[in-house]
């Protein structure tokens, strides 16, 4: 009887470990999907200096020559900025 009980307990522990592993994998997959979705959301569209100016109420030239050179202004990716970063920068200034 002891052997049957030990085997049943081992089977139960194995099943629980398998479920925990599956739940852990699902949590990691969900986290990765969230990261990927954040990258492709409309708030992360790339904006030109003209678009940033329109968004913030400045001219293209003011953005390119003045604001973009200030410490803390979002990083430029080529000739564009991420909209989410620009909006976050603008929110901090208000």
Half-sphere exposure of 3 (CA within 13 A, CB side): 0
Domain boundaries, the chain: 1-40, 43-93
pLDDT digits (tens, 9 = 90+) for 14-63: 887 777 777 888 888 888 877 776 676 565 789 999 999 999 999 999 99
* Distance separating alpha carbons of residues 26 and 29, to the nearest angstrom: 5
Instruction: Of 31, 35, 69, give the one whose Cα is nearest residue 49.
Output: 69
User: Which of 10 and 76 is assigned the larger pLDDT?
Assistant: 76
Q: Identify the H or E element spanning 18.
A: helix 2-40
């Amino acid at each position: 009887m002891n052997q049957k009980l030990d085997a049943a307990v081992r089977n139960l522990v194995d099943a629980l470990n398998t479920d925990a592993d599956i739940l852990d994998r699902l949590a990691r997959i969900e986290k990765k999907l969230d990261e990927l979705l954040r990258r492709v959301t409309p708030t992360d569209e790339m904006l030109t200096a003209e678009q940033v100016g329109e968004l913030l109420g400045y001219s293209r030239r003011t953005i390119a020559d003045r604001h973009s050179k200030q410490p803390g202004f979002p990083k430029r990716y080529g000739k564009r900025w991420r909209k989410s970063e620009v909006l976050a920068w603008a929110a901090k200034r208000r």
